[in-house]
Structure 1
Amino acid sequence: MLKTPTLSKWSYIQWDRYDKKPIDGYTVLLPVPGDLPVFLKIALEVSANQDSEGLIETLVIPDRKVSGFTECFDKWKKKFDISPLRLINPNPIEQLIARYQNNPHNNHWLQIVRGINASVSTHALLHDADLFITKDDFMKIHYQTCVKRNLMCLGVSPVWDSWYEEHGMNHLTATWEIMFDISWARQFQPWEHRGHNGVIHDKAHTFDTMLYPQCQTKPDKIDRHKQEWGFIHFNYVICTYRWFQKSNAPFEDDYFRILLIRLLIDAFDPSEWSYSIPTLDVLEKGITDKSNRVTYCSKDTAQHYSEFRSKLEKLITSGIIDSEKSYILHKSIRNFDLAFG
């Protein structure tokens, strides 16, 4: 079997052809894990609260086809009325890659490519599955700012990798909630948006998703908001879940991301979907039992609890979730509060 980088270059050297004039406005791209439909429900609820001015369409893009996901989509889309809503499933090759490699970074890149190919608007907003938008005009302001300033990319956070700033490229923006010009994205071959090893300005580096094209774009065409605002972001939750799936027990949930997924399932999805995340009582055993499927025994893990708990409390008190969900989250976290303070 071809290695993924080779397959990517061979299979993704050009975009799907789109001959119609793009519609002025933006598309929301919702990449979600196909086997965690709770994130579909959350993404739809978060997006449904937005001011829809400028919004052309919303695309749900699962990373894999899973039996029952379409039924969840059909059920939950009934309450989504701020824009047309489409489901963009992976093609057979992408399904095989997702199934056998289970690599979250590659999955996410393929979701972006599918979303860009399916978009009919001039711009797109790439939403992160583990991010909660707290301001109902966030997307509208984000889009209007990008257009007004004639930017190719407008982000909300700096990139995590300090290498770029050290080499004079401190204008780059992280991919979560990035608003971008679709014609800009299509100037580069699809595989160039994939995380890969490459060279820029005679310097070799490993480029994260969408950063190689940003490096080749004039700095005045890329920007970030002056400060992070209007959202709560838990970061790397889906990546951690994929690594958890590949792991052997015990798995140290050092940033409480597996716990977060269980909390969100219990609060947001009362369906009978069979999730592979351990139940809350099993996770609680991992606070002291080092042989548990998921553990919380490391000193470093304990030091990370405060940051996680602070974000969770912001979500609980944000006003974007109802009182029942808030109660479930508060009740479910009690034993972890007692253990970690």
Structure 2
Amino acid sequence: MFKLATFWKWLYSDWEASIDKPIPGYTILLPVPGDLPVFLKIALEICCQQKSDNLVETIVIPDQSLPGFKELLQEWAKDYSISPIRLVKPKLLEELIFSVKKNPHHNYASQVIRGINATQSTHALLHDADLFITNNTFLNIHYQKCNNSHLACLGVSPVWDNWYNEQGIYHLNATWELIFNIQWARSFKPWEHRGHDNEINGKAHTFDVTLFPQCKTDPKFIDRHQEEWGFVHFNYVICTYRWFQKSKVSFEDESFRILLIRLLINAFDTSAWKYDVPEVDELVKGINDASNCVTYMQQKTRENYGEFRSKLQTLIDSQILNDEKAEILSEGVRNFDRVFC
């Protein structure tokens, strides 16, 4: 019988040719959804506001190759002044797996591995597609702390899975804005960075992306900032969109992530790209119409609005958006405010 875990171990058994003399500094890795280029646009605009000290390169890693994506990157990269920028496409087999599975967790793990393979600097940073950096020295401070403290990796948030705390493992970091030493990352097999089933201290568990290597690393080489700072993070937006794509019935947008995507498209992307995301007027219908393609009917959804709206307002009030973008976001959410606030 075919075992998927065995396949992943075969596909990601070894790293590509090592770099003899890595360049001191860090690379920004941008794993983005190929069919939602608005997140590429956002990442480029947000990262371009960062101080460029110690930044070697920026690598764009789409989860799929679609016609027009490369051209948009070329156009938008004209205003990207902080580093050289490079596109790393999926391999043919990865494209095939995506077309069949459309699993966001598989996609992201493959993007991380491709990014590590392509990095030529001593360090790399995983920038999350739905995270907005609000402090323009954030990335350089992040890199300097990791490098100067000789860390394997440095995070900004703890992992979401409480199982690790129950085992007395407290040092693990979530992947968003994780900066890490490339030599450390390559000291593990590529498949070990994927989400997979394994054991630690004799106990079986499903390890999310990068968590098994972190578990196997001495805690003194892993650190995290004492508090979350310098960013607004909406969390799991791309995953939610993939589940929305696979849904055969009305999709309850319980954390308002589909709404967020549409608002961001309207605010950031003036290209002719055709998005499969309902317009705001269509989403508004889902507040009262249970047959709408996207709905906002459940009590849990109502309870989640406060957190979503607070994050959105923090983004609107930040200095990283111009007045036009801020107004588009504020106006787009107004009908939802009338119902849920």
Moved more, 307-316 or 263-272: 263-272
Contact 2:19 2:120 in 1 (8 A): no
After TM superposition, give the deviation of residue 148 of structure 1 in Å.
1.1
Following TM superposition, the consecutive aligned residue runs of length 4 or more in structure 1 with deviations greater than 2 angstroms are: 1-6
Distance 1:322 1:4, change over 3 A: farther
1:118-157 equivalences in 2 (<5 Å): 118-157=118-157
Q: How many residues were matched structurally?
A: 341
1:73 aligned residue: 73
Residue 207 of structure 1 deviates from its aligned partner by 0.5
Which residue of the partner structure matches residue 287 of structure 1? 287
Distance 1:186 1:243 in 2: 32
Q: Shift of the alpha carbon at 1:2?
A: 5.0
3-state secondary structure, aligned to 1:145 = helix
Residue 177 of structure 1 corresponds to 177
Q: How does 1:266-305 map to 2 (within 5 A)?
A: 266-305=266-305
Aligned residue for 1:57, secondary structure, equals strand
Q: Which residue of 2 aligns with 1:15?
A: 15
Alignment match, 2:262: 262
Following TM superposition, by how much is the alpha carbon of 1:59 offset from its aligned partner in structure 2, in angstroms?
A: 0.1
Tell me the CA shift for residue 6 of structure 1.
2.2
Q: Indicate if the aligned counterparts of 1:256 and 1:308 stay in contact, CA closer than 8 A.
A: yes
**Residue matched to 1:229:** 229
Rounded to whole Å, the distance in 2 between the matches of 1:185 and 1:294 is 40
**What corresponds to 2:336 in structure 1?**
336
**Structure 2 equivalent of residue 313 of structure 1:** 313
The two structures have a TM-score, normalised by structure 1, of 0.99
Letter of the 1:99 counterpart: S
Q: 1:4 to 1:278 in 2, by over 3 A?
A: farther
Larger CA deviation: 16-25 vs 38-47 = 16-25
Aligned-residue offset at 1:3 = 4.8
Residues 297-337 of structure 1: per-residue CA shift (max 9 Å, x gap): 00000000000000000000001010000011111110000
- 2:197 corresponds in structure 1 to 197
1:89 matched to 2:89:
yes
Alignment check: 8 A CA contact 1:29 1:59 kept: yes
Q: Secondary structure at the match of 1:70?
A: helix
SS at match of 2:327: helix
Q: Which amino acid aligns with 1:156?
A: V
Corresponding position: 1:25 with 2:25: yes
- What is the distance in 2 between the residues matched to 1:26 and 1:150? 14
Equivalence map 1:231-246=2 (5 Å): 231-246=231-246
In structure 2, what is the equivalent of residue 64 of structure 1?
A: 64
The CA deviation at 1:5 is 2.2
Q: Which runs of 5+ in 2 are unaligned?
A: none
Deviation digits for residues 279-307 of structure 1, max 9, x if unmatched?
Answer: 11110000000110000000000000000
Query: Cα deviation per residue 1:152-173 (whole Å; 9 max; x = unaligned)?
Result: 0100000000111111110111
**Alignment partners' CA distance in 2, 1:316 and 1:56:** 30
Letter of the aligned partner of 2:135 in structure 1?
A: K
Unaligned residue ranges in structure 1 (runs of 5+): none
Cα separation, 1, equivalents of 2:105 and 2:200: 21
1:115 paired residue number: 115
- Equivalent pair of 1:251/1:294 in contact (CA under 8 Å): yes
Instruction: With the length of structure 2 as denominator, give the TM-score of the two structures.
Output: 0.99
CA contact (8 A) 1:249 1:292 kept: no
Secondary structure (helix, strand or coil) at the match of 1:235 reads coil
**What's the counterpart of residue 103 of structure 2?**
103
Deviation at 1:46, TM superposition (A): 0.6
Are 2:205 and 1:211 aligned? no
Match of 1:279, as an amino acid? E
Do the aligned partners of 1:29 and 1:58 also contact (CA within 8 Å) in 2?
A: yes
Task: Output the CA distance in 1 between the equivalents of 2:214 and 2:88.
Answer: 26
For residue 197 of structure 1, give the secondary structure of its aligned residue in structure 2.
strand
User: What SS does the corresponding residue of 1:270 show, helix, strand or coil?
Assistant: coil
Amino acid aligned to 1:85: I
Q: Could you tell me which amino acid in structure 1 is paired with residue 265 of structure 2?
A: I
Shift of 1:7: 1.6
User: Retained in 2: the 8 A contact 1:240–1:258?
Assistant: yes
Letter in structure 1 aligned against 2:31: P
CA distance, structure 2, for counterparts of residue 289 and residue 29 of structure 1: 40
SS of the residue 1:24 aligns to:
strand
Deviation at 1:11, TM superposition (A): 1.2
Deviations, residues 195-241 of structure 1 (Å, cap 9, x unaligned): 01110100011101100000000010001000000000000000000
Identity among equivalent pairs (%) = 60
2:60 corresponds to which letter in structure 1? V
